């Protein structure tokens, strides 16, 4: 089975908000440290922007992992819904 886990935007948004609290980060500081546009993160958190580019999300996750390590805290898990029916359209099957 393919081991790929990418969360839905709503689940990632929830995780981002939780991580901000755990790491005591502002959107501005997190954006700057991760090298992403501050507007994108703020709008995503508020729900004004429905999703993020994968590159942006990846940069946020990488900085969060570094900051958590530096602060000695554990990040919350990201909720991911997996589609594990190989006949489903998600897997290229011909589910009806």
The domain segmentation of the chain, as residue ranges, is 1-96
- Higher pLDDT, residue 21 or 5: 21
Whether residue 16 contacts residue 5, with contact meaning beta carbons closer than 8 Å, is answered with: no
pLDDT of residue 82: 64
- Please give the average per-residue pLDDT across 52-66, as a whole number: 96
Q: What percent of the chain has pLDDT over 70?
A: 81
Q: For 34-56, write each residue's pLDDT tens digit.
A: 999 989 999 999 999 999 999 99
Give the span between the Cα atoms of 96 and 94, in whole angstroms. 6
What is the pTM assigned to this prediction? 0.80
Task: Quote the DSSP letter at residue 91.
Answer: G
CATH code reported for the domain at 1-96: 1.10.260.40
Give the span between the Cα atoms of 9 and 72, in whole angstroms. 27
Instruction: Give ∠ CA 63-67-73 in degrees, rounded to 5.
Output: 135
Residue 90 has pLDDT above 60, yes or no: no
Provide the 3-class DSSP secondary structure of residue 94: coil
């Amino acid at each position: 089975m393919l081991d790929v886990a990418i969360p839905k935007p709503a689940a990632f948004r929830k995780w981002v908000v939780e991580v901000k609290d755990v790491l005591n980060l502002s959107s501005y500081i997190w954006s700057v440290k991760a090298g992403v546009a501050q507007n994108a993160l703020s709008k995503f958190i508020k729900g004004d922007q429905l999703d993020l580019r994968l590159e942006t999300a990846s940069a946020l996750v990488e900085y969060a992992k570094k900051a958590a390590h530096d602060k000695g805290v554990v990040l919350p898990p990201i909720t991911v819904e997996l589609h594990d029916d190989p006949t489903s359209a998600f897997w290229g099957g011909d589910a009806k």
